[in-house]
């Protein structure tokens, strides 16, 4: 019976190992292609000065991510096969252990029933010297066989536990690979959406693209100057919380292609996340691949401030390492968004606290208008960009 288990087990392992070998060959081919795409992307990074090179770069990213998905899928198949091999081994060892344990118990019972009473009984029960020697040899052989059988049981049990532990590790690895695959598929969707957005915004026109880059660079430089205190400012008046202080500029304005409020919070001279101060509000998240998509920037207000715009709020870009930074051409201009870009149901802008209001502007090719609120009895300053003061 044990030999039958071994034969069946070996046939199953042979078939599964063949599948693993094929999967490994495919994985090697994919890895080679991934290396080629990574090299091309590295070479193209320094040449992304035109729309065509940017589109080419995005296309290469998409192709690379597609290959990485394929690589992960192959690893999943390979790991699944390994789990199947281990499961087959465990099943074979389990059957063998069951068989050997039953055999050992049977031998123990037989030896117990047939055991001699004593050494002297063997002498007296023997007809002659040859009979005595035969009985002694029989007992010795039986003891040796039982010892071997016991060792087989112990070794099989050890292998059984070892294979179970290895299967558990491979199962964990399989779960991690499946999570990685989901993440890669999400990245692929983001990359495709970013490429489509760029084509829509530029209408595949090089001049439009260059203008976008110039505007983004100028706006970034202006924002950096404003939060550094280099803007041209004049104090207007003291204001109360909730008071109207400005109006969002409709449509395109200085270095901005569309109307929005760029809202910045500076605490103790350091730019910080506005969501730490703003309260929960009805909103639509349009900061990802599309409005309402699950890949948008975090929208997690946890403070007590009323919003500077009338709700519901539409989030265009969040704080920090945003979707646009990670996936679009914007990442060429800056790697950290120091405020939030939002729109409301109207263009009215309101003070989030009591304090002193300043009108300001900063020029990089054109004057970017803003207002600044120095909060009363606080080390906090809030900036409201792309607005006209009231």
pLDDT in tens, 145-161: 556 655 565 665 666 67
d(CA 358, CA 371): 6
Clarify whether residues 18 and 81 are in a common domain: yes
Q: Which among 6-20, 27-41, 119-133, 140-154 has the top mean pLDDT?
A: 27-41
DSSP 198-220: HHHHHTT-HHHHHHHHHHHHHHH
Do both 47 and 93 map to the same domain?
yes
Q: In sequence order, what are the residues at sequence separation of 6 or more whose Cβ sits closer than 8 angstroms to the Cβ of residue 129?
A: none
Structure tokens at 232: 């041209």
Residue 106 pLDDT greater than 70, yes or no: no
Instruction: Provide the pLDDT confidence category of residue 388 given band limits of 50, 70 and 90.
Output: very high
Edge-to-edge order in the sheet of strand 244-248: 348-350, 244-248, 387-389
Residue 371: which of 352, 362, 384, 356 has the closest Cα? 384
Q: Tell me which residue range forms the domain holding 104.
A: 2-202
* Domain closes at, from 184, 202, 220: 202
State the pTM of this model.
0.67
Give the C-alpha distances (Å, rounded to integers) separating 382 from 77, 265, 335, 338.
53, 5, 22, 12
Task: Please give the backbone phi and psi of residue 159, each rounded to the nearest 5 degrees, phi first.
Answer: -65, -40
Same domain, 155 and 61: yes
How many Å apart are CA 193 and CA 182, to the nearest integer?
A: 17
**Per-residue pLDDT, 65:** 92
CATH (domain of 12): 1.10.287
- Per-residue pLDDT tens digits for 339-378: 999 999 999 999 999 999 999 999 988 899 999 999 999 9
Do 122 and 264 fall within a single domain?
A: no
Q: Are 169 and 82 contacting, i.e. CB atoms less than 8 angstroms apart?
A: no
Tokens matching residue 381:
């300053």
| Shared domain check, 147 and 274 | no
Element (H, E) at 1: none
210/219 Cα distance (integer angstroms): 14
Quick check: helix, strand or coil at residue 68?
Answer: helix
> Domain check: are 340 and 374 in the same one?
yes
**Cα within 13 Å of Cα(128), Cβ side:** 1
For residues 219 and 177, membership in a common domain is answered with: no
Domain count, the chain: 2
Give residue 2's pLDDT.
Answer: 46
pLDDT value, residue 170 = 84
Distance separating alpha carbons of residues 101 and 155, to the nearest angstrom = 12
Give the model's pLDDT for residue 128: 47
310 and 332 belong to one structural domain: yes
Phi and psi torsions of 219, nearest 5°: -65, -40
Same domain, 381 and 293: yes
Q: Which of 109-123, 271-285, 310-324 has the lowest mean pLDDT?
A: 109-123
Same structural domain for residues 268 and 347?
Answer: yes
Q: How many CB atoms lie within 10 A of CB 349?
A: 25
> Looking at residue 148, what is its pLDDT?
61
Give me 307's structure tokens: 């919003």
Do 222 and 196 belong to one domain? no
233 in Cβ contact with 362 (< 8 Å) = no
Which of 183, 202, 221 marks a domain boundary?
202
Domain end point (choices 181, 202, 223)? 202
Where would I find the beta strands (DSSP E) of the chain? 232-239, 244-248, 261-267, 270-272, 283-285, 313-317, 340-343, 348-350, 355-363, 367-375, 380-385, 387-389
Specify burial of residue 256 (Cβ count, 10 A radius: 0-12, 13-18, 19+).
buried
What tokens does 348 get?
A: 């009215």
20 and 109 in one domain? yes
Rounded to whole angstroms, how far apart are CA atoms 71 and 90? 28
**Rg of the chain taking only CA atoms, in angstroms:** 37
Distance of CA 5 to the CA centre of its chain: 43
Is residue 206 within 8 A of residue 52, CB to CB? The reply is: yes
């Amino acid at each position: 019976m044990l030999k039958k288990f071994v034969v069946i087990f070996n046939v199953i392992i042979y078939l599964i190992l063949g599948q693993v070998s094929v999967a490994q060959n495919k994985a090697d081919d994919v890895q080679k292609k991934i290396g080629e795409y990574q090299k091309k992307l590295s070479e193209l990074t320094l040449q992304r000065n035109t729309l065509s090179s940017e589109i080419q770069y995005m296309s290469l990213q998409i192709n690379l991510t597609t290959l990485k998905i394929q690589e992960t899928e192959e690893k999943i198949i390979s790991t699944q096969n390994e789990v199947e091999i281990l499961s087959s081994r465990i099943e074979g060892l389990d059957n063998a252990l069951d068989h050997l344990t039953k055999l050992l118990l049977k031998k123990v019972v037989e030896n117990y029933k047939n055991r001699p009473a004593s050494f002297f009984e063997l002498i007296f029960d023997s007809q002659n010297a040859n009979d005595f020697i035969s009985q002694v040899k029989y007992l010795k052989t039986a003891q040796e066989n039982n010892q071997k059988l016991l060792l087989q049981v112990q070794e099989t049990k050890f292998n059984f536990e070892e294979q179970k532990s290895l299967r558990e590790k491979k199962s964990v690895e399989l779960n991690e690979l499946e999570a990685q695959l989901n993440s890669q598929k999400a990245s692929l969707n983001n990359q495709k959406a970013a490429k489509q957005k760029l084509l829509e915004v530029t209408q595949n026109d090089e001049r439009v693209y260059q203008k976008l880059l110039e505007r983004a660079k100028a706006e970034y430089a202006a924002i950096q100057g404003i939060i550094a205190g280099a803007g041209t400012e004049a104090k207007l008046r003291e204001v109360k919380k909730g008071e109207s202080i400005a109006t969002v500029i409709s449509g395109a304005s200085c270095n901005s292609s569309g109307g929005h409020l760029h809202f910045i919070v500076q605490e103790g001279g350091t730019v910080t996340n506005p969501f730490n101060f703003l309260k929960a509000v009805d909103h639509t998240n349009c900061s990802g691949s599309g409005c309402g998509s699950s890949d948008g920037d975090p929208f997690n207000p946890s403070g007590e401030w009323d919003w500077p715009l009338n709700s519901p709020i539409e989030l265009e870009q969040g704080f920090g390492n945003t979707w646009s930074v990670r996936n679009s051409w914007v990442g060429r201009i800056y790697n950290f968004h120091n405020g939030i870009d939002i729109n409301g149901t109207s263009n009215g802008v309101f003070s989030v606290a009591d304090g002193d209001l300043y009108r300001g502007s900063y020029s990089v090719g054109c004057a970017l208008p803003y207002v600044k609120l120095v909060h009363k009895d606080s080390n906090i300053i809030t900036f409201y960009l792309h607005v006209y003061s009231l």
